[in-house]
Amino acid sequence: MRSDLQNKSQAPEILAAASLHSSYAGQYRQELLDNVLPFWMKHSKDEKNGGYFTCLQRDGRVFDTDKFMWLQGREVWCFSYMYNHVSPKEEWLQMALHGAGFMEKYGRDASGNWFFSLTADGKPLTQPYNIFSDCFAAMAFASLDKAVPNDRYKEIAISTFKNILQRKDNWKGQYNKAYPGTRALKGFSLPMILCNLSLELEHLLGAQQVNELIPPVIHEVMNVFYQPARGLILENVYADGRFSDSFEGRLVNPGHAIEAMWFIMDLGVRLNDTALIRKACDIMLRTLEYGWDQEFGGIFYFMDILGNPPQQLEWDQKLWWVHAEALVALSKGYELTGDERCLLWFEKVHAYVWEHFRDEAFGEWYGYLNRQGTPLLTLKGGKWKGCFHVPRALYQVWKTWERIQS
């Protein structure tokens, strides 16, 4: 189906524009294979206890040994995905298996919920309050099963996914701090991730189950959290989609919205739904226009939809993952719609990223910049940044531009 949509976008003027940017595919491929993946291969593997270190200084030195399950799962997914889609390199497969072994041995409680964090040798530190540990565990073992089919990996991925669906309406459970009934808001993050997660597990769940999951997820993202009057996606709404004039209800996270829109575009390709792709592309572009810092460049981290002061003190920081996801969404938007605005924005974000985030000296990308675009921290990984957004984005941009230029 992607080829049908591609053919619609391959007008002569688009191909001509693409030819002017024929280096993008090679540039992103080289960055992935020669810079980013080698950094994690060299520095993150815990040879003693298993699993990965993610708290890495600029040069890769470990500054903290705690292990965060969602980052463990992301790295297992990354190396198994590269094994499956780029090249069946034994070193990538062994890297993925190394992390999966640690996760399988130490990662879950007796009910099958994945802990948030562990000590270096696998002792639980933080209770399984965060369902995103489960989401990335399911992704990890599903991807690993593609690389080395194994009934055990299948069972872990499927049981974890079923647990996610059972918990999705109150996923923090006993760890939820909100008082019930007063301001019952639901968050955008989980529906957003389910857009992508369902496709990642399709070979295990089957096309029929995925087809049943897709419509309600698309509805949540595109009709409940999206606010047509403002042209933006909110992070939190009432259960029926109503707006809440509160810190949480006014919150806009441009990076989440932009990332979700390329997930939706992928679903649009699967469904051969050009109207859905067009709508996702328009929302993505509107979010970029809204979230771009006109004074210093880059995309704001958090914003208040009514223009009030955001609650998050880090609101004006420029984060790695936000910009990485924008590069993916813009590439896909240009490929699938031919909208010239996607190309212009891609050039703009690309220039910002390669000037401010990339570390020529030590590899990988900085994670946190101040508003002016200078690194706030020179770390390459921590509690929140690991081996995921950058390599995934590099792969996606590489392959998308490869298709555009073909």
Domain map of the chain by residue range? 2-168+185-405
Q: Any idea what DSSP says for residue 109?
A: -
Residue labelled with tokens 């693409």: 18
Among residues 197, 198, 219, 194, the alpha carbon closest in space to that of 207 is found at 198
Distance between CA atoms of 327 and 189, rounded to whole angstroms?
A: 20
Joined together, the tokens standing for residue 303 give 């914003």
User: Coil, strand or helix: which one is 26?
Assistant: helix
Query: First CA to last CA across the chain, in angstroms?
Result: 17
Instruction: Judge whether 36 and 394 are in contact, CB under 8 Å.
Output: yes
Distance between CA atoms of 382 and 395, rounded to whole angstroms?
A: 22
Instruction: Judge whether 266 and 284 are in contact, CB under 8 Å.
Output: no
Residues of the chain short of pLDDT 50, as ranges, are 1, 3, 6-9
Give bridge partners of residue 126 from the DSSP assignment. Answer: 117
Give bridge partners of residue 258 from the DSSP assignment. Answer: none
Contacts of 161 (CB under 8 A, 6+ apart): 138, 197, 201, 204, 205
Domain boundaries 2-168+185-405, corresponding CATH code: 1.50.10.10
